[in-house]
Structure 1
Amino acid sequence: MTALLSRDGTNFSLACDTCGQLVANLAPAMGTWQVAWSLFVEDGWRGAQRPTGPHACGRCATPRSLGMVEASFGRATPPGRGPQPVTWRELDGVTVVELPGTLQPATHARLHDLLAEDIRPTRHVVFDLSRLAAVDSALLAVLVAAHENAARHGRRICLAGGAERVTAALRMLSVEDLLPNFPDVPAALAWLTAAPPGNRQ
């Protein structure tokens, strides 16, 4: 992960995935990820347009294949990875993933495992964030990866119940179009099931 959110989700930093160089406190001066990244590219940084990376500074030139957080999901399973309280169910042909109110490293790992192994990529997915007060960099990495995987299969994902702090962080990192947020799960399901016939289950 290269766009690192602050703990309260109101600021972000940029880290090089190769050498770890960190440029902090970007939101006050640049506002959004899109503006910041366009300026860093002029300064020699390279990498993906999305904030989840991977990215590399001018002296490293070539970014790794995965960002820091994404790479960490492939490491050995940490203790407690399995029973983290991430649940999912099927409603009207759509997978609804319910996140707990507290995010921990094992929660992110469990969510990554669910999306990689248990949830069919041929279904639309709603992430119910109604219990979360804020979003962090690791969750953002999982959500953006889920969006990209769904797009490859002609499917869509969206969020439901995201608090204002969550939606503000998504706007700041310029991913609100990739991860649309709806007031609740029924509204999200209505949006997904109204998709063109080619995008339905």
Structure 2
Amino acid sequence: MKSKNLSLGSSLLITLSAVLMGISVLFPWWKMVFYAPQYPEGLNIIVYPNKLEGQLDIINGLNHYIGMANFGESNFSELSYLKYIVVGLVFITLLTAIIRKKAVLYGLIGLITLGGLLGIYDLHRALHDYGTHLDPHAPIKIAPFVPPILGQNRVANFTTHSLLGTGAYFLIAAFILLLIPLWKDRKK
């Protein structure tokens, strides 16, 4: 007979997952690195859950020539509340570890999966908007484009690499830790 309760070991894994989620906000979740002959060391846009860093002024100055809107924290309302969503998920994850019910864990996994998919959609939408809503009066005319969420893209003489940041790896590890109890406690 299958138990509806999670073991103490599973509860500890869920607690560790909450810790990794919390730590993730201290690190970048995503970044883009732009390379060109005049910038062999690369220019960065580094995205934390609550701020943007990198050489934004230089990138915005260059993007002006192709008619792309400026990157800035004011353009991404998500940065004002995303950290609080993570804190809420940490709290819910800790409650799940205390309650130790499989049904609650399934709900948490569903919630995090939905949030992750919404986050990916939101990032894709932003990249689409930046790459396709170019000013037609810009000095340099290029075809609209959509930078990839992960991978490489080439626009004019710039090669762009989109990468996960350290914080994203903490989130992935946290999610995997939530899945392990489902396998570990599948039979009692």
- Verify same fold: TM over 0.5: no
TM-score by length of 1: 0.25
Could you tell me the TM-score, scaled by structure 2's length? 0.26
More helix by share: 2
- If you compute each CA radius of gyration, which structure gives the higher value, 1 or 2? 2
